[in-house]
Amino acid sequence: MRGPVPAGDGRLRRGCDNLAAVLERTHTQGAPHHARLVAADHAGCAGPVTALGVERLADGLLRATIRRDGGHATPVGRLGDGELRYPALTPVLLTGPGVLAVDAAGEVPSAVQTLTVPADGLDRDLDGRQLRGLLDPAVSIGAAGHLRLVGTVTEPGAVRARETAGVTVVDLKA
């Protein structure tokens, strides 16, 4: 995820190493959807995020960037671990299965398939505001029934505060 990638691979892979290509795809497929990604990243990154972008390098590779209020584009690879979770997870949490490279079950109609996204250490390197910024879209798209986020956290209190219909916190220490 931290380095430049070839263009054309617009479905997010497991390691998020093709994030730049995914951002290019979301930008070209529709401004409202891309604006939702920027707003979600604004919620979790330091400083006001004004744009998510892609730079095409001289060798033809793509590099994902984040633009803050000062106008400077920072390569995503320079972000801290907590901030990196936003550009990597928000395309999945806001779009659902359509943005991921997955092997769909052929015998189950796509309208009733549910994608399960595992996120071990979901709260790692995140403060409470950042975790809420990831949980809100997860709860929203989970309510639609096309995505299920299964994660582990070290502090279940922030997640428990988001417990609503369809959201369950299981404390394994109990």
* Domains in the chain: ranges and CATH: 19-160 (3.40.50.300)
Written as one letter, the residue type at 154 is T
Q: What share of the chain is helix, strand, coil (3-state, %, to 5)?
A: 40, 20, 40
**What is the share, in percent, of the chain residues with pLDDT greater than 70?**
75
Written as one letter, the residue type at 96 is G
Please write the tens of the pLDDT for every residue from 96-129: 655 555 566 666 666 666 778 888 888 888 888 8
String of b and e for 134-151 (b: at least 16 CB within 10 Å)? Answer: bbebbbebbeeebbebeb
pLDDT at 159: 74
Name the more confident of 113 and 85.
Answer: 85
Contact between 127 and 159 (Cβ < 8 Å): no
pLDDT at 150: 84
pLDDT at 146: 72
Q: Given pLDDT bands bounded at 50, 70 and 90, which one contains residue 1? A: very low
Cα 74 → chain centroid:
18
